Amino acid sequence: MATLPGSTSRWTSVPVTPSPAAASPPARTVRRRGHRAIAPPPPDSGSFSRPGALPPGCFAEDPVRKPVTSHNGGVTHHGRVAPRGIRPSSRVRGRNLPTRPGVWRVGAGCVARRVLGGEVNVSRVARLLASAAVLAVGVVGIGVAGGAAPAQAGTVTLAASSTVLRPGDSGAAVKSLQTKLVALGYWLGSVDGEYGPLTKQAVVAAQKAAGLTRDGIAGPKTMAALADKVRPSARSTKGLVVEVNLSKQLLLVVKDGRVLRIINTSTGTGKTYTRPNGTTGRAVTPKGTFRVNRQIDGWRTSALGKLYRPKYFTTTGVAVHGATSVPAYPASHGCVRVSLKAMDHLWSKGYLPIGGKVYVY
């Protein structure tokens, strides 16, 4: 391991042998044990196993590099460099490759990797290393899937995670996902290792905050957003306020400008609807600052459907209430829907008392 001057980022290096051919070399086999790619170390492994040392041909600074940026759930680094082919040495076989994504750097005889955080499937990393087709003196270009080289030479992208979790899954990985969501304020009930409806609601809320596809499946982009600690910002600055962000379809519980809870919601569709008596209305959730003026601690059946423990904040019957259906898109007649359990939580914590502020924007 080596440390950059003025940085705490660690580097791990793997020697390669340059090849004049630009075509993709044949892939090599790398054995795996757990989450690490294992193979016999190269003869000169001692040259870069010492703390503070980089292997011959590697360098820590690239004078033409641009800043690292987040891109499509991964990490991307651009540099103005000319590509040429490489073929990993048959003696490389590994080292113990770290299971974290980052920027791959190349010197005259090595590939170095800067650790930036997150997790990545090691078998995928091994394939990339084995079938890399583009080498730039300073930056290596490697595609994420199947070892394909990127269209732009001198660019490397490693996904922040190749793990996909979905409703019905359970175990330590789900518990880790839940822990990350809760730490950021996404409400999901209890951390129990079960990918149930509430966890799906929290994942949808995180996807809304990050501007991702709202499918409730925690794939690489969603995992990257959580790793980047993506969460919505509050607009209010004083007191206890329940904010409803219409564009993101999120309900935020805010205290003195700090977001305490982030809950998936579904508000008015904006479409015209017909009431049972034949009159028409428009399904709009009004914008503005309101106060909770009445509440019902139980189910209420109205002409437009059932409302669970509604907290009304307008004189026209618009409320925050529990519902059996809270999709990832606007679907109500104007009310602010949350899950039944989320509504119980809002009641039990006293987040929407009579006179409590509701800010819709």
pLDDT at position 8, please? 32
Please count the structural domains in the chain. 3
Q: Give the bridge partners for 254, in sequence order.
A: 241, 259
Is residue 336 helix, strand or coil? strand
Residue 166 belongs to some domain of the structure = no
Domain residues for the domain of 354 are 240-360
- The CATH number covering residue 196 comes to 1.10.101.10
Query: In Å, what is the CA distance from 42 to each residue of 95, 105, 128?
Result: 8, 19, 19
- Judge whether 114 and 100 are in contact, CB under 8 Å: no
- Judge whether 88 and 17 are in contact, CB under 8 Å: yes
Q: Give the bridge partners for 281, in sequence order.
A: 273
Q: Are residues 45 and 106 in the same domain?
A: yes
Q: Are residues 126 and 179 in the same domain?
A: no
HSE (CB half, 13 Å, CA atoms) of 139? 25
The structure tokens listed for 222 are 């969603």
The structure tokens listed for 41 are 């170390």
Residue among 148, 8, 23, 157 at smallest CA distance from 84: 23
Arithmetic mean of pLDDT over the chain: 69
Residue 233 belongs to some domain of the structure = no
Q: Are residues 58 and 19 in the same domain?
A: yes
Question: What is the distance, to the nearest Å, from the Cα of residue 13 to the centroid of all Cα atoms in its chain?
Answer: 27
Q: Are residues 48 and 79 in the same domain?
A: yes
Residue among 338, 337, 236 at smallest CA distance from 289: 236
Residue 115 belongs to some domain of the structure = yes
Residue 235 belongs to some domain of the structure = no
pLDDT at position 347, please? 99
Rg (CA), the chain: 26
CA angle 95, 98, 102 (to 5 degrees): 125
pLDDT tens string 139-180? 333 333 333 333 333 333 333 445 799 999 999 999 999 999
Cβ-based neighbours of 32, under 8 Å, separated by 6 or more: 38, 122, 123, 126
The structure tokens listed for 212 are 């991702």
Cα 251 to Cα 244: distance, rounded to the nearest angstrom = 5
Positions in the chain short of pLDDT 50: 1-161
Identity of residue 223: M
Q: Are residues 220 and 246 in the same domain?
A: no
Q: Give the bridge partners for 114, in sequence order.
A: 11, 103
H/E stretch holding 88 reads none
Residue 318 belongs to some domain of the structure = yes
pLDDT at position 162, please? 55
- Cβ-count burial 4-27 (b if 16+ within 10 Å, e if not): eeeeeeebbbbbbeeeeeeebbee
pLDDT tens string 198-232? 999 999 999 999 999 999 999 999 999 999 999 99
Residues composing the chain = 361
Residue 138 belongs to some domain of the structure = yes
pLDDT at position 121, please? 32
- Cβ-count burial 158-190 (b if 16+ within 10 Å, e if not): bbbbbbebeeebeeeebebbbebbeebbbbbbe
